[in-house]
């Protein structure tokens, strides 16, 4: 059973992450929001500190993975790397989401490698900063319709296709690319490949200008007869039609709780700033009185805080289940859906509650409102998460419930 108290061994990490967010990320947040596509050089030294935390073996400073070893015996409740990473991510995104996404060696591709790579690949890509490329111009939210192809040729695969909305696609050292080995076999033939920068045929086409998370680069990538070594295929090369593409989808069991954690951290930042402004205006939020007996702004704030708490607990649950080798696909989608929707509602309402101050650049609230929307979109949109949850709860397949 999950314990809702913060694990004692994670408290030092949480404190360190909070200090980093407060002293490093917050002070430069507005600077890199305005200087879109300019690399935040302040992060280089900070990334080295995170590497040191990872090397210490404590976990929580980098991308953890959802790895399921059938041979592993249950040894009681475990609070491991996934929960620690989620707790650290919450604190860091209290500082700035875009800057966290710009952090070297902390990309979503690293989470994919951590989830499905073999031992040799884990060692070989340990110091690699990896982005993740899934979305394509014609696929929308349905990852099963990927058209980028990987054709076997001797000791290599040849990749052809285009990927869009790739976070850190320009700055990262490598990209984890989803491609199909055989379109006629559907989703079962979809595999993920680590494609390193500088590989012939791999081109960064352009960088996108965005509503939010401007500190993070978002790229369009093209693969034109791009030759990738066979040993860069993550997981098994075998096409198992009975299993579908569960191997690559396992990545989402890890990254969706991380995106939910980003949303939780950003929502907390907005709530704390709003509470401070309301208090200065004389609006008291009283937790001992019914909401309808309080100032309208206080009642609205209490509703937002309840929404935040629900998202927070769902996020912790999904990460805890991964640490304890429990199937967490349902919980990961629930956490992502709830947190993604809640952070948008919370940040926009906070802007509304504090009036003109919330709409100006005097405060970070307007930036947080812009940043929040992507957290309801990437790693699977709100609608896709609800569809996944419905399928899981009703016991329906993707063919039965579309």
Q: Known catalytic residues?
A: 379
Strand segments, DSSP code E, in 36-116 are none
Q: Which residue(s) pair with 153 in the sheet?
A: 156
Please name the residue that has the structure tokens 């929404």.
307
Q: Are 220 and 205 in contact (CB under 8 A)?
A: yes
* Crossing angle of helices 26-34 and 365-372, rounded to 10°: 70
Burial class of 126 by CB neighbour count within 10 A (0 to 12, 13 to 18, 19+): middle
Smallest CA-to-CA distance from 101 within 113, 91, 90, 93 is with 93
- Local structure of residue 25 (DSSP, 8 states): I
Q: Are 222 and 205 in contact (CB under 8 A)?
A: yes
Contacts of residue 374, Cβ cutoff 8 Å, sequence gap at least 6: 97, 210, 211, 212, 213
Give the DSSP H/E element, type plus range, for residue 345.
helix 329-353
Q: Are 85 and 258 in contact (CB under 8 A)?
A: yes
Query: Euclidean distance between the first and final Cα of the chain, in Å?
Result: 33
Q: Cβ atoms within 10 A of the Cβ of 78, count? A: 14
What sections of 176-245 are H helices per DSSP?
none
Q: Are 114 and 93 in contact (CB under 8 A)?
A: no
Helix, strand, coil in percent for the chain, rounding step 5: 50, 15, 35
Q: Which two tokens stand for residue 269?
A: 């930042």
């Amino acid at each position: 059973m999950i314990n809702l108290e913060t694990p004692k061994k994670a408290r030092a990490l949480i404190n360190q992450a909070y200090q980093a967010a407060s002293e490093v990320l917050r002070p430069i947040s507005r600077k890199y929001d305005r200087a879109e596509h300019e690399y935040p050089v302040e992060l280089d030294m900070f990334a080295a500190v995170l590497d040191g935390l990872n090397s210490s073996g404590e976990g929580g400073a980098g991308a953890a993975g959802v790895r399921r070893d059938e041979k592993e015996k249950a040894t009681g409740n475990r609070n491991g790397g996934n929960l620690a990473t989620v707790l650290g991510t919450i604190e860091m995104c209290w500082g700035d989401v875009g800057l966290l996404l710009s952090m070297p060696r902390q990309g979503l591709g690293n989470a994919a490698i951590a989830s499905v790579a073999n031992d040799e690949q884990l060692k070989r890509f340990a110091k690699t900063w990896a982005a993740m490329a899934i979305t394509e111009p014609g696929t929308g939210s349905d990852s099963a319709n990927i058209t980028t192809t990987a054709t076997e040729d001797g000791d290599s695969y040849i990749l052809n296709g285009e990927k869009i909305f790739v976070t850190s696609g320009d700055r990262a050292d490598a990209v984890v690319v989803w491609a199909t080995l055989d379109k006629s076999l559907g989703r079962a033939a979809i595999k993920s490949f680590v494609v390193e920068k500088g590989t012939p045929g791999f081109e960064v086409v352009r960088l996108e200008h965005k509503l939010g998370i401007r500190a993070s680069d978002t790229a369009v990538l093209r693969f034109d007869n791009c030759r990738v070594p066979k040993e860069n295929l993550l997981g098994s090369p075998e096409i198992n039609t009975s299993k579908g593409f569960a191997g690559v989808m396992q990545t989402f069991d890890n990254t969706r709780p991380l995106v939910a954690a980003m949303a939780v951290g950003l929502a907390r930042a907005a709530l704390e700033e709003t509470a401070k402004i309301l208090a200065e205006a004389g609006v008291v939020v009283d937790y001992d009185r019914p909401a309808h007996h309080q100032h309208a702004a206080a009642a609205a704030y209490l509703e937002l805080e309840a929404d935040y708490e629900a998202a927070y607990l769902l996020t912790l649950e999904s990460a805890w289940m991964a640490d304890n080798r429990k199937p967490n696909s349902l919980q990961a989608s629930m956490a992502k859906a709830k947190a993604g929707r809640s952070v948008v509602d919370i940040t926009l309402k906070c802007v509304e509650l504090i009036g003109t101050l919330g709409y100006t650049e005097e405060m970070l609230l307007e930036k947080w409102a812009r940043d929040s929307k992507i957290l309801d979109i990437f790693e699977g949109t709100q609608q896709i998460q609800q569809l996944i949850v419905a399928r899981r709860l009703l016991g329906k397949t993707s063919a039965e419930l579309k």
